[in-house]
Structure 1
Amino acid sequence: MIRLVFSVFLLVMFIGGCSAKKPSYITENKIYSVALQNTQKNDVLYKSEVKAILSATYLNNVEDKYNDENHNFLVGVFIVDKKANETLFANSEYSLYMECDEVTSYKKLDHNELLASYIPLKNHWAEYYIISIKKEKQKTIMITLESKKYKDASVELPVNY
């Protein structure tokens, strides 16, 4: 009888110990998952050292409120050698270029805004902007972080028109 109880106990421990558990790095946030699928990242490098990071997310596929008459992007820029409180547009060494005819609006995001919680490749030291451009019949949009000292970094995002 003791053998039977011991065998059942070992069997229960073996089955319970080997059961599939949900890994902690998997998220149930569907917006985050869709945003990750619509995000690309590239680095400005110099001798294998990162000098700046560019990330861009195409928002039209992420949330319905951004699927309007414009292409809407969440663009993040991190500059390694940036001085405190200096913005991307105040930095004369870098500029952001988008392959389009007209930028309809851009807004710098505050790190506490709700949308910032959906950023798939979040960098707490980066600046984030929502940039909207006029929809044209293009299949992709190229966004480039141009550098006067180093090689440029570009991302190409597929868009809906």
Structure 2
Amino acid sequence: MTKYIVLFFAVLLFVSCSSNNSFVNYIFDSTKDYQSLIQNTKKADIIENNNTIKAFMISTYLNQTSVKWDDNIFHFAIGFYKVDEENNKSKYKLTINDYEDINLTKLHKNSSLYESLPIKNSWADYFIVEVAKDDINITINDKLHLKWIKIDENITANILYEQF
């Protein structure tokens, strides 16, 4: 019995004296940045008539995650993935509140921003999407509506941000 008590206190000593960079904290990252990123991340699918997913979009609204993002521009990190080869030949377009003149910059998978994204798909293509707030007609009660449209069939994946 005394062996178990000594073992219990030894384990308690190691667990209570571990640093904040422990393995558990590494796996379950509870930093403010991570929490903010996960709260501002959404996913939408392009689903065809037979209920099969043809493509999907993962979007993270970056303005609320860090002060480094310019408040006069909406910034998103968006991943696009087309499921099958036939879909890769289809044309798609991205709109924000039906505005199409959007700046897309390829996000490389070795960048620190890509590494910090809470939800990633290694097969998706990621971009930094930027659009000036002045270019989008927004009032106080408006929402940001991202649409990824499969042009030839007019099928969309929709993401709605209500707080920005």
Which TM-score band applies after superposition, normalised by the shorter structure? 0.7 to 0.9
Q: Which TM-score applies when normalising by structure 1? A: 0.73
Alpha-carbon distance, 1:150 to partner: 7.4
After superposing on structure 2, the runs of 4+ consecutive aligned residues of structure 1 that deviate more than 6 Å are none
Determine the structure 2 residue equivalent to 1:3: none
In 2, the alpha carbon distance for the partners of 1:122 and 1:35 equals 12
Over alpha carbons, which structure has the higher Rg?
Answer: 1
Q: CA RMSD in A?
A: 2.9
**Structure 2 residue ranges without an equivalent (≥5):** 17-22
In 1, the alpha carbon distance for the partners of 2:6 and 2:55 equals 53
- How many residues get paired? 147
1:79 to 70, 79, 82: 82
2:3 to 9, 20, 24: 9
Q: Residues 150 and 8 (structure 1 numbering): CA distance in 2 closer, same or farther, change over 3 Å?
A: farther
Contact 1:100 1:133 in 2 (8 A): no
SS of the counterpart of 1:62? coil
Determine the structure 2 residue equivalent to 1:93: 91
Identity across aligned pairs (percent)? 26
2:120 to 122, 134, 142: 122
Alpha-carbon distance, 1:119 to partner: 1.6
Q: Residues 65 and 104 (structure 1 numbering): CA distance in 2 closer, same or farther, change over 3 Å?
A: farther
Structure 1 residues 67-112: Cα deviation after superposition (integer angstroms, max 9, x where no partner): 42111111111111248xx7xxxx5432222215474632121222
Give the residue type in structure 1 aligned to 2:33: I
2:158 matched to 1:154? yes
In 1, the alpha carbon distance for the partners of 2:143 and 2:7 equals 54
